[in-house]
Structure 1
């Protein structure tokens, strides 16, 4: 479990909210838009909400994704590395860092996953949050 206050602070200092990316703070009404049950032992931190079928929720324990009604949960304690998914960005013609939206996550079983987030401050903030988590996991 990662402290909510640390992740919120990193997100705000290194990035920030966007149109579709919001810190939950005390506004749990953001959670009413998604079909996901928060576990008793976890605290929601940040949501990237595209629509009812596509969203990403960051808690103090994991990331929960919904893509076209397919739910995936990735626990932070399995995350070993995060970096910009440069090959994907270049393949899609994105060359300016300010327009990056993809992050490559690597897990302790050597599997990897590319996530798509909102460009600009949300991208930078989410990257820093995940980088902090991987640093803590690798210590």
Structure 2
């Protein structure tokens, strides 16, 4: 895999996860709110779990940075293709975990999770998405 093709794949993955973060939250806002104590009693725990999910990214971010460094070291060598593949796999796992708070916000919307709490969780996921961008040094 060439460097250009690998960067294009990583670029497309980033846009895909941007959609996977924003679209479920927007769609879930259109769903009718579940009435009753069941929905209200789950809203706060979902918000707390969403905040805790932000911290699950710490080991994934460390693994991503190590993969970036390994890829940079292998640029121009025979192992460059495998380094790009490894970087993409590590980044996809990290992006999946980074999207968790936004997905929990989407689940919580029909359960009565307040819009401000939803916005905080989605913004947290978007901030993590920015952290997982590919730096310019890998061009």
Report the TM-score when normalising by structure 2: 0.27
Report which of the two has the higher share of strand: 1
Larger Rg computed on CA atoms: 2
